Amino acid sequence: MSVCPHCGSKDIAEIMYGYPDFTSEKLKKDLDEGKIALGGCVVLGDVEQPTKKCNQCGEDFGFELGPV
């Protein structure tokens, strides 16, 4: 389980990149429950992008390089 390094909350969403299927009921449910946060449709291979978002304080963390 992830913990926010900024506020200590365990209420964390995984950041999803790419163009989502907005007709998916599972995606809607995961968004509504704060399990997923949308990170945008542009994935940069040579730039670190966050992988997690805190639902309490809104900070992004867990930076990793995107796919090349």
Give tens-digit pLDDT for 6-44: 999 999 999 999 889 889 999 999 999 999 999 988 877
Residue 7 counted as domain residue: no
Please state the φ and ψ torsions of residue 30, each to the nearest 5 degrees.
Answer: -65, -40
Domain assignment of residue 44, yes or no: yes
Strand partners, 60: 53
Q: What is the pLDDT of residue 4?
A: 97
C-alpha 44/C-alpha 35 separation (Å) is 23
pTM, rounded to two decimals: 0.87
Q: How many domains does the chain have?
A: 1
pLDDT at 45 over 90: no
Q: Is residue 24 part of a domain?
A: yes
Amino acid 52: pLDDT: 97
Which residue would you say has higher pLDDT here, 20 or 1?
20
| Whether residue 65 has pLDDT greater than 90 | no
d(CA 46, CA 3): 26
Show the domain range for 44: 12-65
